[in-house]
Amino acid sequence: MICKKKDKPGEGEYNKMEELMVAEKTPTFEVKQKSVTVFAPATVANVVCGFDVLGFAVNAPGDEVVMRVTDKPGITISKITGDNGRLPMDPAKNTVSVSVKHYLESIGRSDLGLDIELHKKMPIGSGLGSSSASTVAGLFAAKTILGDDRDPIALLPFAMKGEEMACGQGHADNVAPALFGGFVLIRSYEPLDVVRLPHPKDLWCAIVFPDVDVPTREARQIIRKKVDMKDAVTQWGNVAGLVSGLFMQDIDLIGRSMKDVLVEPVRSMLIPGFYQMREMSMELGAVSFGISGSGPSVFAFTRDEATAQKITEKLQSFLEGMKIDSFSYVSTINDAGPKVIG
């Protein structure tokens, strides 16, 4: 049922990606600039009802990568800040350098020497696509240095390699929105098929990260392997409603579709005060509330900045009452994806 490039003219992302991934068509890229600084956005995967298939990018927080061309072939990491020493400096073990290495190999430029400075501007293990933001910033920096002007989708397979290293599975629901900005649907993994979705411009996002430990691998493992068909039907009704709401710019529909009867009931157990935080957020006027990725960060959609601010203040003071440190962010949806900032 899959429309192959050779049969039909390409209409969607799928065909574009297939074309970009064909190695023999890849042009040779030459160094266009000696250094660059790139920002890439944090992302909220799942978007409550769309487990493993939906994600969106925010304007804050995000990570920064400074990349410089060096004299010696190979990738080095000279500095990592903001990680409290948690990330590996070894280029063979760091998701950013590994992804960049795969990218350089794919375009026949393994001869190139690149040095990476990674500045973490967001917490690690927060459920906000921390590794994706770093990886996408690194890949976009390399692409920029080489003047590779192909669609960013050409970078997706390499970003996914990084995710595989970081989370044990090559998911795309963080890297794809970090790479493209906006909302992204991963319709299928085999073959990989991503669809960029529109969204209402006046949608605000309040994010609160309670600083408790919920490792992605473990958060995945507690999810049930079998589910009731009845619940699955409820879930895909909501996924379809959310996607429709995004296309229709219907914030009410988006809000009432963002219900998760399958994953949230389990994962929320790892987040202290999850249901109280939902209630507080909804009472303050949130459109919807849920877990970002595998948590422990939570997020709420709102119609304006002031409501988002009120929600983050309320939730942070609630968490403080439970002696839990937290970080918060208020942002609109990021539409640009990674961005050259220096």
Query: Look-up: residue for tokens 């995967």?
Result: 45
- Closer to a second copy by Cβ: residue 248 or 340: 248
Would the annotation count 326 as a binding residue?
no
Would the annotation count 127 as a binding residue?
yes
- Find, among 231, 245, 237, 254, the residue nearest to 300 by Cα: 254
Q: Which amino acid is at 6?
A: K
CB of residue 16 to a second copy, shortest distance in Å: 11
Terminal C-alpha separation, the chain: 45
Assess 16 for contact with a second copy (CB under 8 A).
no
Interhelix angle for 305-321 vs 274-283, to 10°? 150
Q: Which two tokens stand for residue 277?
A: 């935080």
CB of residue 19 to a second copy, shortest distance in Å: 14
Assess 193 for contact with a second copy (CB under 8 A).
yes
Would the annotation count 294 as a binding residue?
no
CB of residue 263 to a second copy, shortest distance in Å: 9
CB of residue 46 to a second copy, shortest distance in Å: 11
What is the greatest pairwise CA distance in the chain?
62
- Closer to a second copy by Cβ: residue 2 or 23: 2
- Closer to a second copy by Cβ: residue 4 or 34: 4
What are the phi and psi torsion angles at 294 (to 5°)?
-95, 10
- Find, among 224, 291, 308, the residue nearest to 49 by Cα: 291
Assess 153 for contact with a second copy (CB under 8 A).
no
Catalog residues that contact a second copy under the rule CB under 8 A.
Answer: 1-3, 8, 11-12, 14-15, 50-54, 185-188, 193, 195, 197, 223-230, 232-241, 243-244, 247-248, 250-253, 255-259, 262, 282, 288-289
Binding residues for ATP: 123-133
